Amino acid sequence: MTLLVISPDYASHLFPLATLAGAWAEAGERVVVATGPATDAIVSRFGFEREDLQLGRGSNPGIIRAEDQPSGEDDALRGFFAATRLGAVPTLAFQAAARGDDLLWDPLRVAREVQLIVQRVNPDHVIVDHLAFSARLALSGTGVRHADVVLGHPSALTVGEEVYGYPPAWPRRLQPAPNDLVTLRRQCERVRDVFTEQWNGVLASLDPGARASNDAFAETGDVLLLNYPGALHPPERTALLGRHAFLGSAVRTEESDAEVEAWLARGGAPVVYVSLGSFLSVRSDVLACAAEALRGMDVRVAIATGSTPREALGAIPESWLVRDELPQVTLLDHAILAVSHGGNNSVTEALTAGVPLLLLPLSTDQFAGAAALEAAGLGEALDPNTLTPGEMRTVASQLLDQDADAAARLARLSKDLTTTPGASRARAAMVPADDAATEPPRR
């Protein structure tokens, strides 16, 4: 059998999708990844074939810098970074304004390219990133059965009265003004309506008889796969989902890193891992504040600086490990605390390792994700734009001194996520045990 994986040209999207595809590779099956050239090395590292497919103007092989992006995308990225310094609502408003061009980039042409790739690859199964809307249009418009993978927090797929881009929940210490939220919701509703009109127009071109959507952000594939622990998802929201499976996490196996292994082997104080991801590492002020807070604690710190210059962190203790990129999964396996922006990869990988989280949410679904972790007692969130070293040190100390009940909940969740990995759950949802190995795709 052949699995086709469709991913944006971003490492943060491709890594979990490729990890899920590993279940097909382990079964001796062919895996083809349709993505852009920036992540070609990642596809090769997994041993998969690649079909060239550009789903947007931008790309990110691991660390994103505005100056590395094509004209137009560079200014958009700078605008986004600037918005994060103004606060949560300005950031979400900026993202809402850019949503159509970001998520439905040249949709009819991309959809036609996806259709040609499907013809060439002739897959038995297809998994596609939920945010690859143009690709999902191609599959839906030609009746190709596929699994839609929500890699972010489940709120990335709206249900009920939710509006895409408007967080359904907020962490305790980050509560925007009510009037600002009213304005943001209205903007997100306008964007939803325009986006849905564009979606329906392309869908009609691909399949004139297709049912028009009322909300394109609520559309899913034949099978919905959520890269998130089902135990943390509210039952009342789960009831609104269609056919679905919670994958828990998609934790990749990392190559050995001699420097990191030697650092870990030296031992000493407990390890705290810090990363703001590939995009938001540009917030050097937030990383510098975290470094200042942790300098006052009896811990060894591993910081992935990304696009932040090392010198922006201030004095670096000899016992710390500071690099632009670090093997996150490896370090989380040895950490007692993770400091993160709250991206879903970072959250689910930390939970799999049984590590509590101190979250500094800055954009998109990170606010809802942080609120969910607080509700479960598995983490705490702070406002990165008003953060002080003292405040962060206090909350970090509280997380390190968590009560027995919280530690037990985290340990149970970690055991569940490691006992049945996300890749196994994804394949089980798409290939039932009694399925014939040669089942063709239904179109």
User: If you search the block for the tokens 């034949």, which residue do you land on?
Assistant: 222
Q: Which two tokens stand for residue 283?
A: 């917030």
- CB contact at 8 A, 279 and 60: yes
Q: Which two tokens stand for residue 94?
A: 């900026």
Residue type, 265: A
CA angle 39, 43, 48 (to 5 degrees): 155
Strands of the 244-246 sheet, one edge to the other: 49-52, 30-35, 2-6, 125-129, 147-150, 223-226, 244-246
C-alpha dist (Å) from residue 216 to 8, 163, 224, 423? 19, 11, 15, 27
Distance CA 162, CA 192 (A): 11
Count of CB atoms situated within 10 Å of the CB of 386: 10
Distance CA 254, CA 264 (A): 15
Q: Which of 291, 322, 130, 132 has the alpha carbon at shortest distance from 226?
A: 130
Alpha-carbon dihedral of residues 399, 404, 408, 411, nearest 10 degrees? Answer: 40
DSSP 264-297: HHT--SPEEEEE-HHHHTT-HHHHHHHHHHHHTS
- Please give the chain's pLDDT, 443 residues, in tens: 999 999 999 888 999 999 999 999 999 999 999 999 989 999 999 999 999 999 887 655 555 555 555 555 667 778 889 999 999 999 999 999 988 777 888 899 999 999 999 999 999 999 999 999 999 999 999 999 999 999 999 999 999 999 999 999 999 999 999 999 999 999 999 999 999 999 999 999 999 999 999 999 999 999 999 999 999 999 999 999 988 999 999 999 999 999 999 999 999 999 999 999 988 999 999 999 999 999 989 999 999 999 999 999 999 999 999 999 999 999 999 999 999 999 999 999 999 999 999 999 999 999 999 999 999 999 999 999 999 999 999 999 999 998 888 899 999 999 999 999 999 999 999 987 545 344 444 33
Q: Which of 244, 280, 238 has the alpha carbon at shortest distance from 12?
A: 280
5 phi/psi in degrees, rounded to 5: -110, 130
Angle between helices 178-206 and 88-97 (to 10 degrees): 20
327 phi/psi in degrees, rounded to 5: -75, 95
pTM of the model as a whole: 0.92
Residue type, 387: L
